[in-house]
């Protein structure tokens, strides 16, 4: 189950609030995939012997695997980690029915895509790793059937599902290694890696962060750049007592009101 305040539900229904989903939305599910970056780091460490400096950190672990075993091995392990289908939660299904202008989903599972399958007029944009594809693109677009679509098609979608870090479905796109983010972060301040459709749909709207943690600088940077030039107000549904000082500082700097509650309830 999930529980959100009435004024949040109202703003979701009128399309002025963009959901921004983190791993916490899966917290009470029986999903057989990693449910946090820490769990993903543990999975990678169970498959490849990692040096001490890379243990417990998903980005460093992925970088070590890419450097020692090649990118194909890393992508195969990521695909294995997220191979089990994740059934949409009640929250996913509720969001899918709202005809929202945009949903940002930051984890690698396909639950939100599955929830949207009963709806029409939507499409998806995913961030991609550019190192091995010989392309100048930062992202790819997909239609509801999972076929590649021209990025211009996003202008006609009623709902845009934006997966900035990639996803296991439909094409195994994964931004995860340190090198992936070094490339993106060199240009994210000037917004080049952010799709134009995302820039357009955030304008005049606020963000609702659901189950997101920002205990790492990279996660804060991504959120800050995706929010850039949006209007607010913004909200984060999180148990406030668990937040780190850096997370609390980030919330204050970005004008995000923390609603001290869990996304999902028993």
pLDDT at 135 over 70: no
pLDDT at 131 over 80: no
How high is the pLDDT of residue 13?
96
Confidence grade of residue 245 (pLDDT, cut at 50, 70, 90) = very high
Average pLDDT, the chain: 93
Q: Could you tell me which residues are beta bridge partners of residue 105?
A: 21
pLDDT at 35 over 60: yes
Helices (H) and strands (E) in the chain, counts: 10, 11
Confidence grade of residue 136 (pLDDT, cut at 50, 70, 90) = low
- Average the pLDDT over 38-49 and give the result: 97
pLDDT digits (tens, 9 = 90+) for 172-224: 999 999 999 988 888 888 899 999 999 999 999 999 999 999 999 999 999 99
Q: Residues, the chain, total?
A: 266
Closest CA to 110 of 87, 81, 129: 87
pLDDT at 110 over 90: yes
Closest CA to 213 of 233, 236, 231: 236
pLDDT digits (tens, 9 = 90+) for 139-162: 999 999 999 999 999 999 999 999
Exposed/middle/buried for 255, CB within 10 Å: 0-12, 13-18, 19+? exposed
pTM for this predicted structure: 0.95
pLDDT at 30 over 70: yes
- Average the pLDDT over 30-45 and give the result: 96
Q: CB-based contacts of 9: which residues, under 8 Å, 6+ apart? A: none
How high is the pLDDT of residue 133?
53
Q: 96-106: buried (b, 16+ CB within 10 Å) or exposed (e) per residue? A: bebebbbbbbb
Exposed/middle/buried for 185, CB within 10 Å: 0-12, 13-18, 19+? middle
Report cis status (omega within 30 of 0) of the bond before 75.
no
Domains of the chain from N-terminus onward: 6-30+88-260 (3.40.50), 34-81 (no CATH)
How high is the pLDDT of residue 182?
87
The sign of the CA dihedral 132, 171, 103, 19 is negative
Exposed/middle/buried for 214, CB within 10 Å: 0-12, 13-18, 19+? buried
pLDDT digits (tens, 9 = 90+) for 73-101: 999 999 999 999 999 999 999 999 999 99
């Amino acid at each position: 189950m999930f529980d959100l305040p009435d004024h949040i539900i109202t703003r979701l229904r009128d399309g002025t609030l963009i959901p921004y989903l983190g791993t916490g939305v899966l917290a009470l599910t029986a999903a057989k995939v990693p449910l946090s970056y820490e769990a993903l780091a543990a999975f990678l460490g169970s498959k490849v012997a990692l040096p001490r400096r890379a243990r417990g950190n998903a980005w460093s672990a992925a970088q070590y695997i890419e450097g020692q075993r090649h990118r194909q091995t890393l992508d195969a392990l990521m695909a294995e980690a997220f191979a089990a289908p994740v059934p949409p939660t009640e929250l996913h299904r509720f969001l899918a029915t709202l005809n929202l202008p945009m949903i940002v989903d930051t984890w690698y599972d396909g639950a939100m895509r599955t929830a949207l399958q009963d709806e029409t007029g939507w499409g998806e944009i995913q961030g991609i790793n550019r190192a091995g594809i010989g392309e100048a693109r930062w992202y790819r677009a997909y239609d509801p059937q999972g076929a590649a679509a021209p990025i211009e098609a996003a202008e006609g979608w009623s709902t845009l599902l934006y997966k900035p870090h990639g996803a296991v479905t439909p094409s195994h796109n994964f931004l995860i290694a340190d090198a992936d983010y070094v490339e993106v972060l060199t240009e994210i301040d000037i917004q080049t890696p952010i799709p134009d459709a995302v820039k357009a749909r955030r304008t005049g709207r606020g963000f609702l962060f659901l189950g997101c943690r920002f205990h790492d600088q990279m996660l804060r940077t991504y959120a800050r750049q995706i929010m850039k030039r949006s209007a607010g107000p913004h909200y984060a549904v999180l148990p406030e007592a668990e937040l780190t000082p850096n997370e609390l500082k980030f919330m204050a700097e970005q004008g995000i009101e923390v609603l001290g509650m869990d996304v999902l309830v028993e």
